[in-house]
A and B are shown apart, each in its own frame.
Chain A
């Protein structure tokens, strides 16, 4: 937690502050975060995404802890895992618990036919759906088809989504150590653009040529780029350095 807080506060005033998003912290580790922030004395509150790992019933308490520390934390987003068959009643409770100006991100667990229905319900409910793109086993990495299906639901709903895990590199590649093939965040970005303009999403997700992806991203018109960022709104990464290095290499930063 010490390193995470220091890293975030430094990055906030660093060269790449522009690409830095929210600080993510699980609800179970809020007390630890607050202790560190009291020591670090940030000049302005840290914009926070609260990751609920304490169940639906844990939301009100975690939110009130954050709100009681307004000098240290500014709550922008609340993220929660959800069963793949997440339903309206459950989602309704989430919105009761989360303040209106805070973004709700819900991740229906991927798997089975009901997953995309769950994603659809999250969207209908006005929350952002989240897709998990990696982890410690092959199963944690969604296939190109699954990501494409997710994007088609999201793009047709015209809403924002968030991605997480396994996305610290720009371009699709296979990790030599683990043998897992990772999705690239640039692939996701280009695929989102294509989903919005009715082009081949699967090809963009499968692309391993970084230059080609970079060219396509650069060629997006301003309105198209804005539309893409409106949909692929955020993704989580435990490192700022790696994505920035990739983007620089591709001439995108």
Chain B
């Protein structure tokens, strides 16, 4: 028996000893055990010398910079500590209900990809009905754009409805977005040495862990502004991320081969041991589960995304953050955005309370959760990413 008395800290629960995600409390770096946080500063003496400062920090930034050998060593040591029968000296559990969410790391550069074929095809059909749904480059490279790092917010942060320009019958109209949407995505937190041209085989040395992402999107603003240079103000007002980062090492059993592309890819994008990940995502809209996007259906993996992002000589540095792009699968109930789910508002969804929705209304709350297969039939959890829409100022 472990010293951690929390029924949620069991291997058949998402935040059991198989997961051990990292976050930050008022006491600095912590690891999540079930429904508790275990702050690491008070037990810093239980770690090797080089880990002491990393686990005693206010944020995960020093740990991110430390790199894979330290990450691997820390997880191995934590696995021992949380499975022990007695608490390490100074070890105190804090119920999560008493912990307010904090963004656990300083977001450096933020990149958002567009790597679900089903999403790209759906959006292509909606935004460009007269063209082929997929542009010709899509199967040859992971399409992405640089987002706004400064507006990445932690789960639980309210999202104020953005204002901006949209297309009107007689020229542009200014006002609060009338087509506010979500995008269910999976994000990757980078660390390790600053590097460029990162081969797919080295991805695990630069990716610390995984968080769920909600890339809030104002579709009316986006539709008017996005050509020719891509997404801008329709996206940059807020991107929410989970408060706890699930370490990459927890996902060994979740690895899958991504669906094949119709063409060969250039050598720098070839993966020897593919990093497709079998996350099952759930999207709730005011407590009604409206979608279950399958991450295993993504065409490009994070290792390919990182290889692509750095192949031109651009560096990746600790704190860089990149997201997968909206996760959608082949079925209607797999769609990871409301734009697709309601087919641009034409097919509204009905929530549990009987109300109908096409896009987000003020006061609506969206919660995204996910699990992945873990060892011995366990599931590895990902901290929820939640947000409530507030009326435009």
Interface residue ranges, A against B (CB under 8 Å): 27-28, 31, 53-61, 82-87, 89-90, 93, 97, 109, 111, 135-140
Contacts and interface: CB of A to CB of B under 8 A. Distances in A.
Contacts of A54: 249, 252-253, 375
B73 interface: yes
Contacts of A87: 69
Nearest to B74: A57
Contacts of B72: 55-57, 83, 90
A84 B193 CA distance: 12
A84 B79 CA distance: 24
Contacts of A109: 201-202, 205
B253 A57 contact: no
Contact of B205 (A58, A83, A135, A138): A83
Interface string B294-338: 000000000000000000000000000000000000000000000
Contacts of A82: 69
A139 B270 CA distance: 9
Interface string B181-208: 0000000000001000001111001000
30 contacts: A28-B253, A28-B375, A31-B376, A54-B249, A55-B76, A55-B250, A56-B249, A57-B72, A57-B75, A57-B76, A57-B79, A58-B375, A60-B80, A61-B375, A83-B68, A83-B72, A85-B67, A86-B69, A89-B73, A93-B73, A93-B76, A97-B76, A109-B201, A111-B199, A111-B201, A111-B202, A137-B200, A137-B267, A139-B201, A139-B268
A180 to B, nearest CB: 10
A85 B199 CA distance: 15
A56 B75 CA distance: 8
B272 interface: yes
A89 B205 CA distance: 17
Contacts of B271: 136-137
Nearest to A62: B375
A240 to B, nearest CB: 22
Nearest to A53: B252
A51 B79 CA distance: 19
A135 B73 contact: no
Contacts of B89: none
Contacts of B77: 57, 93
A61 B202 CA distance: 25
A54 B252 CA distance: 5
A138 B200 CA distance: 12
Contacts of A135: 201, 272
Contacts, number: 84
B48 A89 contact: yes
B307 to A, nearest CB: 10
A136 B274 CA distance: 10
Interface string B53-81: 00000000000000111001101111110
B73 A140 contact: no
Closest 4 CB pairs of A and B: A55-B249, A137-B270, A57-B76, A135-B272
Interface bracket on B: 20 to 34
A154 B200 CA distance: 27
B170 interface: no
B50 interface: yes
B252 A89 contact: no
Contacts of A27: 252
Dominant secondary structure of chain B at its interface with chain A: helix
A59 B270 CA distance: 29
B71 to A, nearest CB: 9
B208 to A, nearest CB: 12
Contacts of A55: 72, 75-76, 249-250, 252
Contacts of A53: 252
Contact of B76 (A28, A56, A139): A56
Which of A57, A89, A111 is the most central at the interface, judged by chain B CB atoms within 10 Å of its CB?
A57
A45 B210 CA distance: 39
B267 A89 contact: no
B50 A57 contact: no
Contacts of B68: 83
Given A53-B252, A54-B249, A109-B202, A138 B272 contact: no
A56 B247 CA distance: 12
A143 B234 CA distance: 48
A61 B80 CA distance: 10
A60 B249 CA distance: 14
A60 B375 CA distance: 13
Nearest to B250: A55
A182 to B, nearest CB: 14
Interface string B353-383: 0000000000000000000000110000000
Contacts of B375: 28, 54, 58, 61
Contacts of B249: 54-58
Contacts of B73: 56, 89-90, 93
Which of A53, A58, A97 is the most central at the interface, judged by chain B CB atoms within 10 Å of its CB?
A58
Given A54-B375, A55-B249, A139 B199 contact: yes
A65 B249 CA distance: 19
Contacts of A86: 69
A28 B250 CA distance: 11
Contacts of B376: 31
Contacts of B205: 83-84, 109
A114 to B, nearest CB: 9
Given A54-B375, A57-B78, A57-B79, A140 B69 contact: no
